[in-house]
């Protein structure tokens, strides 16, 4: 009896330019997205150049690879493990653990390239997702199963805000949280790991990283890998998932690097011509179905604080809530530095949040916008030159600004302020009472870095 073994599809390396490798196959071409291996080096097929040659991007450094080296087609795309065994672990793009606790014995592996859920399977009800952070819940409420973006330049507090959300939300909503670090610093990953451990929620979290020092190919695919894991918990385990991505701009940046390495002509501001498609492929997989919801909070670095940058503009289009962080507020010590006039949410309508919440939010915005207009006059002539009505607006606005600050659990060791989580009803009560001038006789600083309005002391 003759036992036939499956024919292994092999090719040879034709050229190597940095991370870009051209490989000639004699028998048949591998499919697009197939994973190829050349010893310890993993390559993903991106383009068919000729009927015999494919062009791929290396997901690891290519040192030691030479022309003429043998490459094996695995016959499948890049796969990652899925399942309950991932909880409490830290992984890389290949599904290997990087927390020194041994390998995961996963029963199931899935391709990172999954189709998005058809529109007919999406849920159509809108639910609010409370975070316990006053400025967000009052002025830009998040949607369960929606996508929220934290926009800001370097050093205004995006990562701190994401860590606080993990702390507040995981304990409250149960479910699973998946943290995806795209092109972030190793230090931030290590801090987050300790934060989750100290909060006692590590056993309900999965962390996956494509660090800043890794190849652009790996950084470009780590978001897809995280989504594949999130989809398992939503569709198979029927659990709600909180997916935190830090930072979606680095995904776009990695795509631009890959595009440049492949020799594609750059588009506006040097970005890849396929920017909109690549971002849509990732974002459209985040949604709610009848089985569960994937709620996503994404940090978005804004280059040079320029909100007209194509990366920021394209990301805006996918979000149900945009939380904009302001460098000016951060410099004044108003943390979280959420800009109340630029932040917005599609949830903030009377039908979803209720009439009282909607009208209060509009009133807060109106008061703060009037104060913004009066700032130039105050700078030139002083507060005393304003009419009594305008002076009242300024006093209200300054007290609102301070009331919307909040001490975070994740920054207790740096600020000395004990962290506070505030229910939406308490936050609305506080804002309503300030707008009714109940705290005119109190100094502004008595409203700074407090939780509920009951914490105010003369």
Known catalytic membership, residue 392? no
Residue reference for tokens 């309005």:
453
448: number of CA atoms within 13 Å, CB side?
A: 9
100: number of CA atoms within 13 Å, CB side?
A: 2
The per-residue pLDDT for range 252-266, each reduced to its tens digit, is 999 999 999 998 999
Question: Which residue out of 28, 101, 172, 185 is catalytically annotated?
Answer: 185
For residue 71, the surrounding DSSP H or E stretch is strand 70-77
Question: Which residue out of 184, 231, 283, 401 is catalytically annotated?
Answer: 184
The per-residue pLDDT for range 431-458, each reduced to its tens digit, is 999 999 999 999 999 999 999 999 986 4
- Residue 365 has what pLDDT? 97
Of 2-16, 167-181, 246-260, 271-285, the one with minimum mean pLDDT is 2-16
Report whether the peptide linkage leading into residue 21 is cis, meaning its omega lies within 30 degrees of zero: no
Residue reference for tokens 């494919």:
54
Cβ(21)–Cβ(15) under 8 Å? Answer: yes
With bands split at pLDDT 50, 70 and 90, how would you rate the model's confidence at 247?
confident
Residue reference for tokens 């800043």:
212
Give the global pTM.
0.89
Known catalytic membership, residue 436? no
With bands split at pLDDT 50, 70 and 90, how would you rate the model's confidence at 216?
very high
- Residue 36 has what pLDDT? 97
For residue 91, the surrounding DSSP H or E stretch is strand 90-91
State yes or no: pLDDT of 82 exceeds 80.
yes
- Residue 429 has what pLDDT? 96
| Rounded CA separation 78/76 (Å) | 7
- Residue 175 has what pLDDT? 80
Of 13-17, 72-76, 153-157, the one with minimum mean pLDDT is 153-157
Across the chain, mean pLDDT equals: 91
Cβ(242)–Cβ(99) under 8 Å? Answer: no
Cβ(144)–Cβ(293) under 8 Å? Answer: yes
- Residue 6 has what pLDDT? 59
Mean pLDDT of 360-386: 93
- Residue 192 has what pLDDT? 84
Residue 86 CB contacts under 8 Å (≥ 6 apart), including other chains: 104, 106, 206, 229
Known catalytic membership, residue 185? yes
With bands split at pLDDT 50, 70 and 90, how would you rate the model's confidence at 165?
confident
- The winner for highest mean pLDDT among 72-76, 150-154, 188-192 is 72-76
More confident residue, 58 or 145: 58
State yes or no: pLDDT of 164 exceeds 90.
no
268: number of CA atoms within 13 Å, CB side?
A: 9
The C-alpha angle 105, 282, 238, rounded to 5 degrees, equals: 50
With bands split at pLDDT 50, 70 and 90, how would you rate the model's confidence at 5?
very low
- Residue 126 has what pLDDT? 86
Enter the DSSP assignment of 286. -
State yes or no: pLDDT of 7 exceeds 80.
no
Question: Which residue out of 158, 204, 285, 402 is catalytically annotated?
Answer: 158
With bands split at pLDDT 50, 70 and 90, how would you rate the model's confidence at 171?
low
Cβ(246)–Cβ(188) under 8 Å? Answer: yes
């Amino acid at each position: 009896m003759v036992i036939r073994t499956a024919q292994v599809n092999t090719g040879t390396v034709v050229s190597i330019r940095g991370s870009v490798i051209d490989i000639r196959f004699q028998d048949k071409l591998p499919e697009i997205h197939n994973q190829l291996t050349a010893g310890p080096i993993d390559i993903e097929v991106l383009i068919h150049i000729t009927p015999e040659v494919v062009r791929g991007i290396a997901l690891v450094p290519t040192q030691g690879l030479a022309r003429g080296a043998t490459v094996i087609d695995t016959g499948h795309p890049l796969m990652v493990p899925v399942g309950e065994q991932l909880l409490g672990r830290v992984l890389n793009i290949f599904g290997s653990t990087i927390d020194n606790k041994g390998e995961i014995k996963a029963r199931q592996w899935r391709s990172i390239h999954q189709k998005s859920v058809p529109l007919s399977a999406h849920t159509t009800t809108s639910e609010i997702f409370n975070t316990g952070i006053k400025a967000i819940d009052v002025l830009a409420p998040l949607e369960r199963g929606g996508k929220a973006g934290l926009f800001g330049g370097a050093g205004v507090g995006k990562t701190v805000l994401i860590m606080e959300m993990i702390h507040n939300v995981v304990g409250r909503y149960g479910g699973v949280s998946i943290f995806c670090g795209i092109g972030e610093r190793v230090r931030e990953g290590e801090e987050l790991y300790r934060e989750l451990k100290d909060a006692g929620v590590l056993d309900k979290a999965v962390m996956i990283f494509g660090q800043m020092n890794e190849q652009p190919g790996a950084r470009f695919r780590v978001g897809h890998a995280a989504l594949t894991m999130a989809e398992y918990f939503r569709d198979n385990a029927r659990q709600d998932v909180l997916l935190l991505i830090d930072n979606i701009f680095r995904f776009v940046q990695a795509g631009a690097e890959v595009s440049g390495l492949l020799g594609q002509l750059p588009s506006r501001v040097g970005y890849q011509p396929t920017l909109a498609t690549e971002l849509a492929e990732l974002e459209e997989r985040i949604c709610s179905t009848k089985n569960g919801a994937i709620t996503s909070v994404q940090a978005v670095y804004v280059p040079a604080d320029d909100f007209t940058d194509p990366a920021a503009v394209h990301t805006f289009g996918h979000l149900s809530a945009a939380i904009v962080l302001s460098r000016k507020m951060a410099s004044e010590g108003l943390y979280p530095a959420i800009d109340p006039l630029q932040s917005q949410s599609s949830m903030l309508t009377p039908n979803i949040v209720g009439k009282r919440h909607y009208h209060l939010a509009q009133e807060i915005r109106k008061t703060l916008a009037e104060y913004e207009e009066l700032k130039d006059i105050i700078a030139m002539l002083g507060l005393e030159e304003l009419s009594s009505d305008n002076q009242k607006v300024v006093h209200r606005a300054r007290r609102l600004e301070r009331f919307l600050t909040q001490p975070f659990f994740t920054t207790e060791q740096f600020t000395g302020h004990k962290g506070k989580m505030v229910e939406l009803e308490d936050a609305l009560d506080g804002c309503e009472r300030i707008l009714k001038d109940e705290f005119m006789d109190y100094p502004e600083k008595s409203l700074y870095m407090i939780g509920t309005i009951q914490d105010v002391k003369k």
